[in-house]
Structure 1
Amino acid sequence: MVSYPDSQGAERSLAIRRPPSVASHSSRTSTVRRHRPHRSHFGGSSYQPQNEFPVFTHTGDVEIRIANGRKEQRYLLHKLILTQCSGFFEAGTSDEWASAGEGSNAQSQNAAALARMPPSAAQAVQQKKRWRYELDWGQNDDEIPMLVQKKTTPTIFGGDASSQQQPPPPTNKPRAPSSGFFRSMANFSSLHVPATEQDPDDDTFRDYDNLFRVFYNYPPTLDPINIANAYVECKSLLHLADMYDALEVIGPRVDHHLLRFQGRLWKQIAKYPPSYLKLGYLARSKAIFAEAMVHVVGQWPQGQNQLRGQTPDSVIDLIEDKVDEMDEMKAKIEGKLFRLTLTTSRGERVTPSNNWLDWMAMSLFRQWLAENTTPPPIPILKSPRHPPSRHGAPETLPPAPPPIFNTGRIFRLLGQGGSAYLGHDECKRFLRLSPEHYSRENLKRFERSMEEIKNKAKDVVKPLMRHFLECDLWGLGGGLPYLTCTRVEPQDFPWDE
C-alpha cells in the first residue's frame, strides 16, 4: 500500500480573510470546510479538482498524457508514488536516465547557472523539475502502445523548458487495431464477451486509469457482476502492469476483485484452467493459481498448447512434476488393482479348481481394467490420399494425432463402485458365454462376487479420489472426467523461489 503526500498548501479547512469592516467587529477567524467534489473518472466531466487525483496541481511533478485524437486523459502525479509502484517510472525518472539523451546541453547550461545562485534559491529551482510522458500508439497495429518520456529540463526562471514551447499539434491516431496485444492475450473469443459499440481505445484508457488509480489506493473500475468481463479487464490490466514492472502492486488488487465472485470464480476456472493459470501467475494469486493447477494437471497434456511458450519455464516444470507424481501414484494403484483376489470359505485364494464362478468374476474385472487403462492400439491402415494432383501423383495426408488418453475417468468409476461399471447387463452377457454355467442362481452369486471385488477396488483407489479444489465437483454436472488429487504445497508457487 502506498499513499500520496498531502499538499502543504491544501488543507482540509481554509481560513477566510474577512474585509476590514467585518474583521473589526469580530476577533475570531471563521473557517469553512473546503468543498470536496466527487472523484473524477475518465470520460466524465472536464472539471478537474485542484490537488486531487488524477491532477495534483500543487504537488504533482510527473505529467502523463494519453490521447488518440478523439479524446484525451491527463494526469499530474507524483514521482514518489510512481517510483514506489513501478520499476518503469523508477528508471525513467532516475538521475542516470535524465543525464542521457536529448537536453544534455541545456542541462549543463542550467547546472552552471544554478552553481552561481545562492543555495536556497538553487534548491527551490531544482524542486520545480517535472517529467512528462505521452502515450505512443505506434505506427501499425502490431506495435504495443507505450508511454514515452518527453525530455524536460528545469530553468532558472522556474518551470521547465518544454512548457515554454508551443505544444505539438494533436495528431490523429492510426486506425484502431482489430486484434491488439491485450485482446489477443486475454483470449476474448473463448470467453464469449459481447461486442460493444464504443471507441475501441476505451480499453486502453480504462487500463491506464486503473493502473494509476491502484497506485493511489483507489479501487480499480472493474466489472463487479459479469465474471467473464471481469476476467478480460483484469487480464488486460495485469499485462499492462507487467509492461511497467508494477505487478507487485496491481496483482493483489486483481486477486481481491476476482475472489469476490467466490463460487462463480471456481466454476470459471474449471471451464478455462490454462487461462486462469496464467492470470493467477501474473497476479501472484495463490488461490487462483492452485485451483487452476489442479485442473491443468488432471487434464494434461490437453492444455499444453495454451501454456508452452506463454508461461515461464518454472510453471511448465511444476506442471510436469505434478503430472509425474500423479502417474507414479496411478501406476502403484493399478498394480494393486490387478492383484486383487477373492478367497474361499477356508481362506484360500480363488482358483479355477476351487471356485470357478468367483474366478470368472475376477477374470472379468481384470479384463475390464486392462482394456480401460491401456491406450488403444494404433490401427495399421494406409494413410488416406488426396485426389491426384496435376502431375498425376496422389498426395498422402499426414496421419491424425492419436486422441488424448486419460485414465482419470476410469479411476473415478472405480471410486464410485456399485453400478457405475460392470453392471447387471454386462455380468449377464458375460455369464451367458458359458451356457453350462448360466442360471439365475449362478448369476446372483456372480454379481455378489463382482460387488465384493468392486468394494475392494474402491478402497484401493481412495488416494486418487481426494480433491484439493474449492469448487464443488458435483456442482459441475456430476463430477469431472479427470483426477483432482493434485496438491499445490506452499513451496510450489514459482514466484516464491
Structure 2
Amino acid sequence: MMAGRPLYELTWGTLRGPGPNKEFPKFKGADVKIIVSGSRQYELHSSVLKNASPRMEQYLLPDENAAKLNSKTIKKGVITKYRLDLIRNPDYTDGGKVVEYVLEPVLLDEEGKAWASNAVGLDLENGRAVNPTFLAYDAVFGAFYQVPIDLGDFSTDALTDILITAFDILKVAEYLGCTDVITSPIEATLLATGQVLFVSISNQPAGWLDFAFRIRSRVLFREAMIHAVGQYNSDDMQNMIHTLHPAVAELLTKKANTLKGAVKRSFQLMLSYYPTHLQRERTVGRCDRDNIGRSSYGNDIMDWLALVVLRHFLAQQVADDQTHQAADLGKSVIDVVIAGNDAYLSRRDLETWHGFFPMSGRAKVVLDRKVGELKQAIKQYATVFTKNESQLNVVATPVEHLTCSTLQITEYPWEDFTDAEGSDGVSETEVDDDMYE
C-alpha cells in the first residue's frame, strides 16, 4: 500500500446512479479494456486485475492472450493488450446463486483491434434502470482499486434493498474469486443498520449463514450461527440445513448437539437434586441417635413431598419432549425455571395436586414454601442458558430460542476453503499513485 495522500479524494456513488459510469476513476497505463455495456466501459490494469482475481489471472487474462502491438500502434498511444466483453452466463437460472453475466476474452490484433467483429451498441442508459449485474461489476472493479463500495444509505434504504445489492456484488466477486475485497465494505454497511440487521438474522439465520459464509464475514457468521443453533430443532431450520455448504451444516449440527447435550444434562441435574439437609451420613451406629431411622426421615416429610411435586413437573416436561428435544431446545421451560415464583407450580397449581393429596391449610403453606425453596435452588442449573451471546437486544426484541452458543475463532469453516478457481483473493490490492490521471 502506498503511504501518504489518499488514493482517491472523491465521493463515489455509482451504485445509486442510473447513468453512465462517469464517476469511475480514469487511469494511466491501463492495458485492459472491459466492455460491460455500451455506456459502461472500463480501462484497467492487467497487473491489478490479476493480483486481485484468480479467474482474471488464470482464464481471462493469460499472458498468451496479450496482443502483440506493433510499433506503429504503440506510437499512436494505443496500449490496450486485452479486451473482455460481458456475455450472458449459460449456467444462469432465475434465482440462482451464479452471476447472470460473465466476461469473455476477445483477442486483439497487432493494431489493438478485435480479431472478430464484436460491435457494441450505444446502449445509453439515459436515466433508465440499470441492470444490477452491471452495477455489481462496477462496484467490484472499483474495489480492486480500493474505491469504497456503496450499498446505499442505511438510514433511508430498506435492509432488503441493501441485501439485494450486496448479493449482486457477491455473485460477481465469487465468479472472479475475490470475495475478500468486498467483505469489509459490505459488512460495515450492514452493521450500520444496527438492530434492524440483528433482528433480520434472528428471524432467518439459515439464509444469513449462507450469505456470511460466502462473503467470509466472521461477525455476521457468528451472529447467524448463534441463532441457527438455538433454532436447530425447528421445522424451518431442519428444512434449510440441506441448502447450506456441507462444512457449515456440519458445524451447525455439532454446535446444536453440544447445546442439546448441555440442556439435557441441566434437566438431569434438576431431577437429581437433593437439598443437603436431607442427606445423611453413612453410619453403623444407632438409628435413633444417628438420624437414620424412620422418625428422622419422617420429620422431613414436607421436604420430600416438595421434591415429589417438583420432580413431577420436571418429569412431565421431559416426557412431553419440552426440553432438549423441543423445537426451542427447552427454552420455554428454562425461562419459567429461571423466573421461579408463580411462573410454575404456583399455589393455584398446587391446589390440583391437593385434590389427590389433601392437607390442612397450614401444611399447604409449608409445602408451598418448601417448593419455593427448591425452585430457587435449581435455578443454578439453568442460569448458563440465559446468557445472550448474540448482538441482538433480546430485551427489546425477545426471541423464542436460546442465544447462548459460542463460536471460537478457530471454528470458522472457511479457513480450509478457497474462493472460486482456487484462491483466497486479496483483501487489499497494491496500486500505484502514478496510475491516476
The TM tier, using the shorter chain, reads: 0.7 to 0.9
TM-score relative to the length of structure 1: 0.67
SS at match of 2:184: helix
Give the aligned partner of residue 345 of structure 2.
Answer: 422
Question: How many angstroms apart in 1 are the aligned matches of 2:321 and 2:265?
Answer: 21
Question: How many angstroms apart in 2 are the aligned matches of 1:360 and 1:214?
Answer: 70
What is the percent sequence identity of the aligned residues?
19
Compare 84-93 and 348-357 and name the one that shifted more. Answer: 348-357
Q: Which of 260, 272, 286 is the matching residue for 2:192?
A: 260
How much does 1:455 deviate? 0.8
How much does 1:222 deviate? 0.9
Give the aligned partner of residue 100 of structure 2.
Answer: 145
Give the aligned partner of residue 434 of structure 2.
Answer: none
Q: Does 1:319 align with 2:279?
A: no
How much does 1:53 deviate? 2.6
Q: Does 1:65 align with 2:32?
A: no
Question: How many angstroms apart in 1 are the aligned matches of 2:371 and 2:386?
Answer: 21
Q: Does 1:41 align with 2:8?
A: no
Q: Does 1:53 align with 2:5?
A: no
Give the aligned partner of residue 468 of structure 1.
Answer: 389
CA 1:86–1:254 in structure 2 vs 1: closer, same or farther (change >3 Å)?
A: same
In the TM superposition, what are the counterparts of 1:227-266 in structure 2 within 5 Å?
227-266=159-198
**In angstroms, what is the RMSD of aligned CA positions?**
3.9
Q: Does 1:88 align with 2:55?
A: yes
Q: Which of 161, 165, 171 is the matching residue for 2:113?
A: 161
Give the aligned partner of residue 359 of structure 1.
Answer: 304
CA 1:140–1:95 in structure 2 vs 1: closer, same or farther (change >3 Å)?
A: closer
SS at match of 1:291: helix
Question: How many angstroms apart in 2 are the aligned matches of 1:45 and 1:487?
Answer: 46
How much does 1:154 deviate? 4.3
Question: How many angstroms apart in 1 are the aligned matches of 2:320 and 2:203?
Answer: 26
Contact 1:357 / 1:446 at 8 angstroms: preserved in 2?
yes
SS at match of 2:395: helix
Q: Which of 425, 443, 453 is the matching residue for 2:364?
A: 443
TM-score relative to the length of structure 2: 0.76
Question: How many angstroms apart in 2 are the aligned matches of 1:404 and 1:47?
Answer: 50
Contact 1:128 / 1:154 at 8 angstroms: preserved in 2?
no
User: Structure 1, residues 307-354: CA drift from partner, whole Å, max 9, x if none?
Assistant: 32x332221121122122212222322221111124668977999844
In the TM superposition, what are the counterparts of 1:44-443 in structure 2 within 5 Å?
48=22, 53-56=24-27, 58-67=28-37, 72-95=39-62, 98=65, 128-138=79-89, 142=93, 144-155=99-110, 159-162=111-114, 167-168=118-119, 170=121, 199=129, 202-223=131-152, 224-225=154-155, 226-302=158-234, 303-308=237-242, 310-342=243-275, 353-375=298-320, 404=327, 406-435=329-358, 437=359, 439-443=360-364
Q: Which runs of 5+ in 2 are unaligned?
A: 281-290, 417-437
Q: Which runs of 5+ in 1 are unaligned?
A: 7-11, 13-35, 100-106, 173-197, 378-401
Question: How many angstroms apart in 1 are the aligned matches of 2:320 and 2:93?
Answer: 43
User: Structure 1, residues 80-137: CA drift from partner, whole Å, max 9, x if none?
Assistant: 22222222212235446628xxxxxxx7xx69xx7xx8xxx99989982432222212
Question: How many angstroms apart in 2 are the aligned matches of 1:431 and 1:273?
Answer: 45
Over alpha carbons, which structure has the higher Rg?
Answer: 1
CA 1:55–1:448 in structure 2 vs 1: closer, same or farther (change >3 Å)?
A: same
Question: How many angstroms apart in 2 are the aligned matches of 1:453 and 1:247?
Answer: 54
User: Structure 1, residues 269-322: CA drift from partner, whole Å, max 9, x if none?
Assistant: 1122112212221222221111111111111133132232x3322211211221
Compare 324-333 and 364-373 and name the one that shifted more. Answer: 324-333
CA 1:370–1:297 in structure 2 vs 1: closer, same or farther (change >3 Å)?
A: same
SS at match of 2:43: strand
Matched pairs, number: 387
SS at match of 2:233: coil
Give the aligned partner of residue 491 of structure 1.
Answer: 410
SS at match of 1:220: coil
Contact 2:347 / 2:368 at 8 angstroms: preserved in 1?
yes
| Structure having greater relative contact order (Cα 8 Å, sep ≥ 6) | 2
CA 1:334–1:345 in structure 2 vs 1: closer, same or farther (change >3 Å)?
A: closer
Question: How many angstroms apart in 2 are the aligned matches of 1:151 and 1:345?
Answer: 86
